[in-house]
Structure 1
Amino acid sequence: MASFPAVLRSEWTKIRTVASTSWTLATTLLVTVGIGAGLCAVVNATFDNMPKPEQASFDATQMSFSGMILGQLAMLVFGAMVVGSEYGTGMIRTSLAAVPRRGGLLLGKVLVATALALVVGLATGFLSFFLGQALLGGHSTGLGGENVLRAVIGVGLYMALLAAFAIGASMMLRNSAASIALLIGFFLILPIVLSLVEATRKVAAYLPGQAGSAIMQTVPAAAGSDVPYGPWGGLGIMALWTLAAVIGGYLVLGKRDA
């Protein structure tokens, strides 16, 4: 039976040597930074044309992270591929033969993938911030501004939770395509649909993507006056969703054959 450090080394080797997981991490960084920079340049050029209320509540820090709209999808794909690639190739049988304790196998995957997502997320956060603020010109803020460092680090925390959530969901579905479709619908489409109806708008605020993204806001008005939680409270809600997904993945992994 493999020791837990050996499990961690094995999971690191799997992620490092599978091209799809490496490319999705690189895509996460490039898409988030690139889109954020482009939108910051546009806002800087059109800032004076914005309505006065929008100018007053403008969140320069969050503007740098506007590329997260698509960047987070790449991170969800990464998390789904960490599990889905093994089921797709049948390597999961070999993994379970080497690590019979399925909880240890899942924990190893979550720890390694989440650590990588955190590193990529932090790099994405700092690069997006500095490049975006440079392009915002006179409308920019500094890293020493109120709540700014928390928001930048929050990008890394948000990315790490996204990866862990995707791993749990993918472990339940055991199929990359199905997992990615579900995750895109849950994080991108469902919040928009729920937000269109007054009766379900408050429900949308408690979905993991909506709640977790509050950690990247520095201007209270930007979060909406009717949101009943702050940045850390929102991230806590997302963490609970993530824990539920991982527990679900563990239960399914323990009951089903490979």
Structure 2
Amino acid sequence: MNSPLGAVVAAELTKIRSVRSTLLVLPLTVVLSAALAYPVGRSLAGVPNVDPLFATFYGLTLSQLPLVVFGVLLVGGEYTAGTITASLTAVPRRGLFYTGKVLAGLLTALGVSAVSVAVSFVAAQMGLGPYRTSIGAAGVPQAVVGAWLYLALICVFAMGVATMLRGSAGPLAILMPLLFLGSQGLGNIPGLKTVTQYLPDQAAAVIMHLTGPEGDPRFGRDVGPWTGMGVLVLWVVLSLGGGYLVLRRRDA
């Protein structure tokens, strides 16, 4: 990588490999994906009208949390440890520094997400037994790609939030309850669903078959699979944009 951006990305990837606190959380995403997918699949095997993709990706509602922690620590850890000053001294162009860090986080998250989705799919199908689906079945490739992108994008979203709040504790205090409660039913409360269905995890849940069919008054959503992913992308763009504005305008 001879370009300035390439050099920054390489440096940030080196940081990821050398900081134990950020590196240790990544395997948890893979382990939780497999550990949750099999029992969920087994518990739903034979349930009338069960969607095998719901069983496949339901565990991601919890296994996403280590990736969120990784995204927060990747940025917030620099503020907590005080190394952000040294980083910005080494790369004084803040836009270049920020882009390189985000790309390094995204590349890492895409790799971890690919493995997590793969093991989740295999484990869930083993649990479902004769009720399993196949990778070539209708709707499955779209759901698999959507789950892969979701995990990576939610990590980058967390990076933007951590940059805006310039630390780790605040972002984790907001994101962990939000994503956990949202995934565990907040988005299905009738009085709240009109708004909460457009939260990042709720909008993207459609493509992973974690919502009810369209028109379902409780579990359905008003957006389609790729529209929901578009809503998530918008959240990511807003998060990263807000993070850049804070990084550019405030001292380290």
Give me the whole-angstrom Cα distance separating, in 1, the residues matched to 2:175 and 2:201: 10
**Structure with the largest fraction of helix:** 1
After superposition, the Cα gap between the structure-2 partners of 1:221 and 1:157, relative to the gap in structure 1 and judged at 3 Å, is same
1:129-140 paired onto structure 2 within 5 Å = 129-140=121-132
After superposition, the Cα gap between the structure-2 partners of 1:8 and 1:234, relative to the gap in structure 1 and judged at 3 Å, is same
2:237 to 243, 248, 257: 243
Contact 1:36 1:63 in 2 (8 A): yes
Verify: 1:106 aligned to 2:98, yes or no: yes
2:167 to 168, 175, 181: 175
Give me the whole-angstrom Cα distance separating, in 2, the residues matched to 1:7 and 1:31: 31
Verify: 1:254 aligned to 2:248, yes or no: yes
C-alpha deviations, 1:5-47, integer Å up to 9, x for none? 1101111001111112211111111112211112112222xx3
Verify: 1:97 aligned to 2:89, yes or no: yes
C-alpha deviations, 1:163-199, integer Å up to 9, x for none? 1100000001111111111111332235744643x33
* Displacement after TM superposition at 1:223 (Å): 8.6
Q: Percent identity at matched positions?
A: 37
Q: Counterpart of 2:25 in 1: which secondary structure? A: helix
After superposition, the Cα gap between the structure-2 partners of 1:92 and 1:157, relative to the gap in structure 1 and judged at 3 Å, is same
* Displacement after TM superposition at 1:224 (Å): 3.9
Letter matched to residue 70 of structure 2? F
Counterpart residue number, 1:14? 15
Give me the whole-angstrom Cα distance separating, in 2, the residues matched to 1:31 and 1:75: 11
After superposition, the Cα gap between the structure-2 partners of 1:121 and 1:224, relative to the gap in structure 1 and judged at 3 Å, is farther
Letter matched to residue 57 of structure 2? F
1:96-175 paired onto structure 2 within 5 Å = 96-175=88-167
Report the TM-score when normalising by structure 2: 0.91
Give me the whole-angstrom Cα distance separating, in 2, the residues matched to 1:61 and 1:72: 17
1:199-218 paired onto structure 2 within 5 Å = 199-217=191-209
Unpaired segments of 5 or more residues in structure 2?
A: none
Q: 219-228 or 31-40, which moves further after superposition?
A: 219-228
Q: When the two structures are aligned, how many residues end up with a matched partner?
A: 247
Contact 1:147 1:218 in 2 (8 A): no
* Displacement after TM superposition at 1:213 (Å): 1.8
Counterpart residue number, 2:221? 227
Letter matched to residue 142 of structure 2? R
Letter matched to residue 55 of structure 2? M
The two structures, once aligned, show a CA RMSD in angstroms of 2.0
Q: 21-30 or 237-246, which moves further after superposition?
A: 21-30
Contact 1:60 1:139 in 2 (8 A): yes
After superposition, the Cα gap between the structure-2 partners of 1:223 and 1:250, relative to the gap in structure 1 and judged at 3 Å, is farther
Give me the whole-angstrom Cα distance separating, in 1, the residues matched to 2:246 and 2:118: 37
C-alpha deviations, 1:105-128, integer Å up to 9, x for none? 111111111111111111111111
After superposition, the Cα gap between the structure-2 partners of 1:22 and 1:235, relative to the gap in structure 1 and judged at 3 Å, is same
Q: Counterpart of 1:221 in 2: which secondary structure? A: coil
Letter matched to residue 158 of structure 2? A
Give me the whole-angstrom Cα distance separating, in 2, the residues matched to 1:84 and 1:247: 16
Report the TM-score when normalising by structure 1: 0.89
* Displacement after TM superposition at 1:208 (Å): 0.4
Give me the whole-angstrom Cα distance separating, in 2, the residues matched to 1:42 and 1:211: 26
Give me the whole-angstrom Cα distance separating, in 1, the residues matched to 2:187 and 2:42: 31
Counterpart residue number, 1:188? 180
Give me the whole-angstrom Cα distance separating, in 1, the residues matched to 2:243 and 2:176: 18
* Displacement after TM superposition at 1:75 (Å): 1.0
Give me the whole-angstrom Cα distance separating, in 2, the residues matched to 1:148 and 1:194: 24
Letter matched to residue 250 of structure 1? Y
* Displacement after TM superposition at 1:246 (Å): 0.4
C-alpha deviations, 1:150-170, integer Å up to 9, x for none? 111222100111111000000
Letter matched to residue 83 of structure 2? M
